[in-house]
Amino acid sequence: MKILILQGPNLNLLGSREPDIYGSESLESLERNLREWAAEQSIELEFFQSNREAELLESLHSAKDNFEGIVFNPGAFTHSSIALRDAIAAISIPVVEVHLSEIQGRESWRRSSVTAQACSGMISGMGARGYRLAVLALKGP
């Protein structure tokens, strides 16, 4: 099974970015740990991070031919991007949205997710563990 881990804007700054909210682990370390854990269960992961909406859109479009599912943290695009929401709805593979922080417990404008409306599910507030839970959700029983 092959899953794409897609990361949106500012997630390249994990570790140094508001560590009280997003933790002190870098994106590189998060990805390495996730890859090692997934390999133990015969799941292959590919990683892509972009600060550009267009690149995230193109990545979603092409993923449908190469992956069986996507774990997506759209960063701040979560709260505004109808284009990303439509791309998720347009592809035939399941997408699980992940947020490191608990978006429901934060600023009022951060509580709603435009993109999650098109996803199979959303995991929020579990930190880096949320990515593992999302991979397991895609793997199924």
The catalytic residue positions are 22, 99
Of 76 and 89, which CB lies nearer to ligand DQA in the complex structure? 76
Of 16 and 92, which CB lies nearer to ligand DQA in the complex structure? 16
- Report angle CA 90, 92, 96 to the nearest 5 degrees: 90
Site string for ligand DQA, 51-90 (x = CB under 6 A): ----------------------x-xx-x------------
Q: Which of residues 81-140 bind ligand DQA (CB under 6 A)?
A: 99-101, 103, 110
DSSP assignment of 94-114 = -EEEEESS-GGGS-GGGS--T
Task: For residue 44, give Cα distances in angstroms to 34, 36, 137.
Answer: 10, 9, 15
* 34: phi then psi, degrees, rounded to nearest 5: -65, -40
> CB 75 → ligand DQA: shortest distance, Å?
3
Q: Does 6 bind ligand DQA (CB under 6 A)?
A: no
